[in-house]
Amino acid sequence: MSGLKQRRMLGGIAVQITALLVGLTIIFPIIYGILGAFKSPAEFSAYPPSFWPKSFAYTQNFQDAFARVPFLRYGLNSLIVALIGTTARLLFAVLAAFAFAFYDFRFKKTLFLVILATMMLPGDTLLVTNYLTVSRLGLLNSYLGMAITSFVGATQMFMLRQSFLTFPRDLKEAGQIDGCGDLRFLATILLPISKPVLVTLSVQSFVTLWNAYLWPLLVTNSTNMRTIQVGITMITSFEDTNYHLVLAGVTLSLIPAFLLFIVLRRNIHRNMTAGALVG
Amino acid sequence: MSEVQPIQLPLARGSLMRKAKPYLFILPILVFAVGFIYYPFFKTFLFSFSTVNAKGVITGFAGLDNFNYLFSRRDFKIALENTLKITAINVPVTVLITMGLALLANKKRRLSPVYETMFTLPMAIAMSAAAMIFKVLLNPTVGYLNYALGLDFGWYQSRDYALYGILMLTVWMGIGFDFLLFLSAFRAVPEQLIEAGIMDGAGWLSRFFKIQLPLISPTILYVTLTNMVLAMMVSGPVIILTQGGPARSTTTLIFMMYNSGYGSANYSLSACISLVAFALTFALALLAFYVERKRVHYQ
């Protein structure tokens, strides 16, 4: 009996060590990228290539990267676009979910399907025609132009509706009799109760928008309006491969999404996987 | 019972405003869904059968000319081949890797939080940041990968390997989320079923194939579908890393669409490519559903 136990324990340790090694392999590119940000140009061109930087006190790359491209401005642009997009997407999704969960009206099912079916049209295939629309609206090189295509969150609407449906309907009726208006009910009762879902969906939207590349690239051409994800690819060029600066920029760009991810990992983990199978 | 009844607002107070309310709530999302999803789709459809000038204005009806022109182009065949190749490799490789990771992490152990975080971390990394890291990591001279593996070709500089260099990146980017999906699917398999399997003397392999695999098949379908769509749409890594080269070896459909629309203002051609990519993706998704149906039926 104790022999079996011991074997189980040893097996468990072996599995954990294997998992750690596999995990290290998976995050190797990230570690490599961050370490590279601390390497001097000389260390970079040396052969054989080094894994560890000589010193973590070497911060010249970050300073040079800041001097070369307006990083703070890029970060601010990304932040604004991500906030506009997340706010509008969540607001519209909340309103629609509220209607679908608590009202009965004609064409309810059809409208619901019309919104859900947007998930079947991959955004990438619509890039060029959306570019024409945004350009015609005069929104090139604007925050609104960068955020506007992300305002429709069918997945978010669906998950919020699911969450709202769990709210006992007679409680809402009771509130109504007490003179609690619809929007007040939504703002003071329903939303606070749905906070966990809202937080997850917001973080998810924020990270997606913060990380977006193709659309912001398409609709901006002035240096001042570039987002950080577009900016970091522009530090390098064919003639001039400043890998040490690139990695410094990349490392800086990782920080916000990274922090959000680590802090909210459990929350995201639970809610994302719960929602993913329906979305 | 009154609580299962949908709320009927009293008609006495039912002014026009009351009736209009739910529609007003839906209006914003609907306006943007129409404006930035349905309208561009419709327009893409229209463009593909029209002649369109460089300003994006339709100047005439073209019938099937645009499609004929597209299908006769050699670079379209290459782009189609590359895209299908990426999909054919990316999907099964991602499913196998993430399923394997989920099996490895399935049982909760002391270090679970550590390696679960490691497995999910790639999903926090932006595509462009990941692409730039891979650009350095896979560089033939300064990169660490070739040195560590003793290779001497440039992944993104060689026409034979560039597509695999792109694939390495796309597979890596998909690891985090799909691992989470499989992990929760495996953990949702009832413990008693596994134990019953052990009691019946079923080995590790037959427990996996007879008990776990059928129960997680919806997740397999979901991961397959989402990866299919992502793989069919690959373009960002191509724009950043290779610009479709060398010698068109990494040109994908969406990259070609982007290039001919945004780059050369050939909007009708771009619309045709977009429709082809959409139709193929849709067909592949239907196929996946069909296979899944059939498999479940014969069980």
Please write the tens of the pLDDT for every residue from B207-258. 888 888 888 888 898 899 989 999 999 999 999 999 888 888 999 999 999 9
- CA A201 – CA A90 distance, rounded (Å): 8
- CA B66 – CA B50 distance, rounded (Å): 8
Diameter of chain A measured on Cα atoms: 78
Q: How far is B146 from chain A, CA to nearest CA, in Å? A: 10
Contact B66, B268 (CB under 8 A): yes
pLDDT (0 to 100) of residue A238: 59
A54 within a domain of the structure (yes/no): no
* Chain A contacts in chain B segment 153-172 (CB below 8 A): 172
Q: What is the mean pLDDT of chain A?
A: 85
B142 pLDDT band, cuts 50/70/90, is confident
List own/partner pairs for B142-147 with CB under 8 A and 24 or more apart: B142/A44, B142/A45, B142/A49, B142/A243, B143/A49, B144/A32, B144/A49, B144/A51, B147/A47, B147/A48, B147/A49
Which residue segment(s) compose the domain that A132 sits in? Answer: 70-276
Over residues A89-103, the pLDDT tens digits come to: 999 999 999 999 988
Is a pLDDT exceeding 60 seen at residue A276? no
* φ, ψ dihedrals at B52, nearest 5°: -130, 135
Q: What angle do CA B283, B284, B285 make, to 5 degrees?
A: 90
pLDDT (0 to 100) of residue B297: 43
What letters, b where the CB count within 10 A reaches 16 and e where it falls short, cover A144-175?
bbbbbbbbbbbbbbbbbbebbeeeebeebbeb
What are the structural domains, with CATH classification, of chain B?
11-66 (no CATH), 73-297 (1.10.3720.10)
Is a pLDDT exceeding 60 seen at residue B118? yes
- CA A257 – CA A187 distance, rounded (Å): 28
- The DSSP secondary-structure symbol of B6 reads P
CB-nearest to A33 from B9, B30, B133 is B133
- Which residues lie below 8 Å from residue A267, measured CB to CB, with a gap of 6+? A196, A199, A200, A203
Q: How many domains does chain A have?
A: 1
Burial class of B45 by CB neighbour count within 10 A (0 to 12, 13 to 18, 19+): middle
Residue, of A173 and B32, whose pLDDT is higher: B32
Residue A160 C-alpha from the chain's centroid: 18
Residue B60 parent element (H or E): strand B58-61
CB-nearest to B144 from A12, A49, A92 is A49
| CATH code, A204 | 1.10.3720.10
Over residues A240-256, the pLDDT tens digits come to: 678 888 899 899 888 88
In this prediction the pTM is: 0.86
Q: Does B69 touch chain A (CB under 8 A)?
A: no
* C-alpha Rg value of chain A to the nearest Å: 24
Q: Does A40 touch chain B (CB under 8 A)?
A: no
- CA A242 – CA A236 distance, rounded (Å): 6
Over residues B56-76, the pLDDT tens digits come to: 888 889 889 999 999 999 999
